[in-house]
Structure 1
Amino acid sequence: MSRNPVTPSPAAERPTEAVASARRPGVLVAALLLLGVSALPALAIRPDPANPPFQGLDDQWLAWMGGPHDGLYWIPAAVLNWFGGPLGVVVPLALLFFLLLRRRWTSAGFLLGVYFAGNLLVVQGLKRLVDRPRPANPLVRVDHGSFPSGHVAGAALLVVLVGVLLVPAARRRAWWLGGTVFTLAMMWSRTWLHAHWLTDTAAGAAAGAGAGLLAWWLCAPALARESDRGGRESDRGGRGAAAPVTPEAAPAIP
């Protein structure tokens, strides 16, 4: 009896693209450089938090921002301030709920671990290490510690998390570009509102993006295995039940 050859599933044949892209040396180098950009200024600020070596640059930038403010620019600044506050928690929670609904347990654990490690350990750790005074008369409610900016760090970290967990690899370049614009807008809003110095926002962006990229590099194999399992299950579901064997397709019996 002749038998039709079994064609392997394309999902099972193709190499894991997620591991290949995340485990590139450039991703690790970028993550470490960004974390260094956030940590080295903290060491320079710590001896004299009120007057670090680059305070002149921060003063000049704050003077360019002007103030007090009102008018058209107040709307995007207020929206970004709100996004970094209450909505900054709602968005990750919604993403977590989506991942749990899709039974992507590894991705959900990755989201929780990286979000809390990035915000609590990296950002809050640097804040308590430095405890830099904020600019005088901020236009929004703020907490202690100006360095680094938690709003900007959260925005950059969220860009990386969404890009890694939801955006297909073929579309990530456009996502990174849009995420960079969003992070820069958050940096502008924090200085325009006199809530942070310019170097606070730069360090926040570096801390958030660096923490996210380092976690992606470390966890890429586990995320890829989950993605491969999902692809195989989708492939089996798409084939459905076996089609009935018609006389024309029936194997010849000698």
Structure 2
Amino acid sequence: MTDATSATVSSSSEPRGADAGDAGEVSARPTRPRALLVAGLVGLAAFIAFGFAVAQNVEAPFTQPLDDAWRAFVGLAPGTGGETWALPMLFQHLGQIPGAVLTMLLIPAWLFVIRRWRSALFFLTAELVGNFGVSQLTKNLVDRPRPADDVAAGLFGPLFQVDHGSFPSGHAVSTGILVVAVAALLPPAKRLVWWIVGALLVVGMIWQRTLINAHWLSDALFGIIGGASATLIIWWAFATLLQKDYGKPLFRRAIAAPANEGAA
């Protein structure tokens, strides 16, 4: 009687254990969060729609009254020196060669060094697609004029050398990419601090690009949206690969020596 009972318990408990193991494997299986794709597509649609609206009247799109008011409020005149102190120059360099070296060389190289090659491929893809597909392609298609001197009204053009095309702000696109791409490298529990830092980077970049009269306010706002949205879509595409990297440290190699190493 006892043997039969124990056999019954043993046989009935084994399938439940197997089921639990299978359930654990299913729950741990990498997935692509649909919210990333939806948010990215909505944001990219808004970016494209605004670009199309600007292209219909590049001299005075529907946001021009707001852009003019913001420029009059924030834009600096030449010779004040307000554009060359540490904080605005930080954002200036972030969207130029130093920022490109950081985002397209140093960060991907470090990710390869710490054996997060999936993350490195994601980061490079986001940078290339965003900076060339979103920023440069749109600049050439829309070709919105940058703010120009209007000395009689106390308004001035760019205080630094710039290329053609005001929409979108390439600096802003790069910032949108950076904020979302770095968030994608972090497991969910560790993203809060970065989102706060990212919000400060976004606000600072919009401020700096309009402070130096390099862009209209709408160029910077939609530049952030375009860069961030494209990166959200790429994050969704790479999500299952990125999740495999979350157990690996970002700032040091994992050195896990077996407890019995050297015992033999």
Give the TM-score band, short-chain normalised. 0.7 to 0.9
Residue 56 of structure 2 aligns to a residue in which SS? coil
Structure 2 residue aligned with 1:145, among 165, 168, 172? 165
- 1:55-86 superposed Cα distances (whole Å, 9 cap, x missing partner): 11111110111421535564121221112112
Equivalent AA in structure 2 for residue 217 of structure 1: W
Structure 2 residue aligned with 1:209, among 228, 238, 255? 228
Residues 235/121 of structure 1: CA separation in 2 closer, same or farther (3 Å cut): closer
Higher RCO (Cα < 8 Å, 6 or more apart): 1
Partner residue of 2:145? 133
**Identity percentage of aligned residues:** 37
Structure 2 residue aligned with 1:81, among 85, 88, 92? 92
Equivalent AA in structure 1 for residue 115 of structure 2: R
Instruction: Confirm or deny: 8 A CA contact 1:106 1:222 kept in the other structure.
Output: yes
Q: Which runs of 5+ in 2 are unaligned?
A: 1-23, 149-156
Calculate the TM-score normalised by the size of structure 1. 0.80
* Equivalent residue runs for 1:221-232 within 5 Å: 221-227=240-246
Distance 1:162 1:51 in 2: 36
Aligned length: 227
Instruction: Confirm or deny: 8 A CA contact 2:111 2:120 kept in the other structure.
Output: yes
Distance 2:83 2:195 in 1: 25
Residues 39/237 of structure 1: CA separation in 2 closer, same or farther (3 Å cut): same
Structure 2 residue aligned with 1:90, among 101, 112, 122? 101
Residue 38 of structure 1 aligns to a residue in which SS? helix
Residues 15/196 of structure 1: CA separation in 2 closer, same or farther (3 Å cut): same
Deviates more, 1:115-124 or 1:194-203: 115-124
Calculate the TM-score normalised by the size of structure 2. 0.77
Distance 2:262 2:27 in 1: 29
* Equivalent residue runs for 1:2-81 within 5 Å: 15-16=27-28, 19=30, 23-68=32-77, 70-71=80-81, 74-75=84-85, 76-81=87-92
Pairwise CA RMSD: 2.7
Displacement of 1:235: 9.3
Instruction: Confirm or deny: 8 A CA contact 2:168 2:219 kept in the other structure.
Output: yes
- 1:99-133 superposed Cα distances (whole Å, 9 cap, x missing partner): 11122222222121121011101111211110000
Partner residue of 1:185? 204
Partner residue of 1:103? 115
2:138 paired with 1:118: no
Residues 66/201 of structure 1: CA separation in 2 closer, same or farther (3 Å cut): closer
